[in-house]
Amino acid sequence: MKNNNSAAAAVTESIMNAITWKHTGKMKGMISLSTSVLLNKYCQERQKNPDSVCSHCYAQHMAGKLYKGLKEKLAKNTDLLTREVIPVEWWPILNTLFFRLEAFGDLNNVIQLQNYFNFAKRNPYTTFTLWTKNTFILFQAEKAGAQKPKNIIIIESSPFVNVQVKKTHKWVDKTFTVLDKSHKDDKRINCGARHCLTCLKCYKKRTTSEIFELLK
């Protein structure tokens, strides 16, 4: 990317348009930046496995069948975030305490992860939380010399229902496991899926490091 004012302004505007400012349900009040699950080859491969969490993916249903506008937006986001590393100074400055990375998709490559790191560096007073099942990309990024900012919380999600995942990389702060309805009385369930802003277990480091949610 050529470092000039017009290019920087255009990219910053694209990022602002890429952000989802209005969520519903448990995410109401949160702000996020996501890519398309439909264009993520790792997500699509896992969806073929009926034991995978991805076979129950709500994002696949929402972006693929319910909302055409969301599908188009997430496709544009995927191109924006995975093609080139965006310089730190081109990222917008936010006025928010908490920000979710990947409310609908997952990491595609190292470029995307570096972009999220740069976003966090631009906003040191915002806590960013990133969910991912593709922790192999963390290893690739570390090998390439990337350094995780202190204001990013990385949550490693288990790819399988009822299988608790263990942290596989030093950058992982928390784990997230989905349990099916046969575990509805499991005392480990601590994600009520009601309202993220009144819970914040995933958005603060000094809470539990293991999150369990009941399959919807």
Provide DSSP, 140-169.
Answer: HHHHTT----TTEEEEEEPSBTT------S
Domain limits, the chain: 5-214
pLDDT band at 59 (very low <50, low <70, confident <90, very high): low
- % of the chain beyond a pLDDT of 70: 93
pLDDT digits (tens, 9 = 90+) for 73-125: 999 999 999 999 999 999 999 999 999 999 999 999 999 999 999 999 999 99
Question: For the residues 25-37, what does the mean pLDDT come to?
Answer: 93
pTM of the model: 0.92
3-state secondary structure of 193: coil
pLDDT band at 56 (very low <50, low <70, confident <90, very high): confident
Distances (CA, A) of 212 to 7, 58, 90, 102: 43, 17, 36, 18
Distances (CA, A) of 204 to 23, 26, 201, 208: 20, 17, 6, 9
pLDDT digits (tens, 9 = 90+) for 116-158: 999 999 999 999 999 999 999 999 999 999 999 999 999 999 9
43 in Cβ contact with 123 (< 8 Å): no
pLDDT at 169 over 60: yes
Question: For the residues 27-54, what does the mean pLDDT come to?
Answer: 91
| pLDDT of amino acid 58 | 67
pLDDT at 65 over 60: no
Q: Which pair of tokens denotes residue 47?
A: 């969806």
Q: Which pair of tokens denotes residue 107?
A: 């990491």
77 in Cβ contact with 36 (< 8 Å): yes
Reference 18, options 61, 76, 67; nearest CA is 76
Choose the weakest-confidence range: 6-20, 54-68, 163-177.
54-68
State the CB neighbour count (10 A cutoff) for residue 10: 12
Q: Which pair of tokens denotes residue 117?
A: 């790191």
- % of the chain beyond a pLDDT of 90: 75
| pLDDT of amino acid 67 | 64
Q: Which pair of tokens denotes residue 135?
A: 């922790």
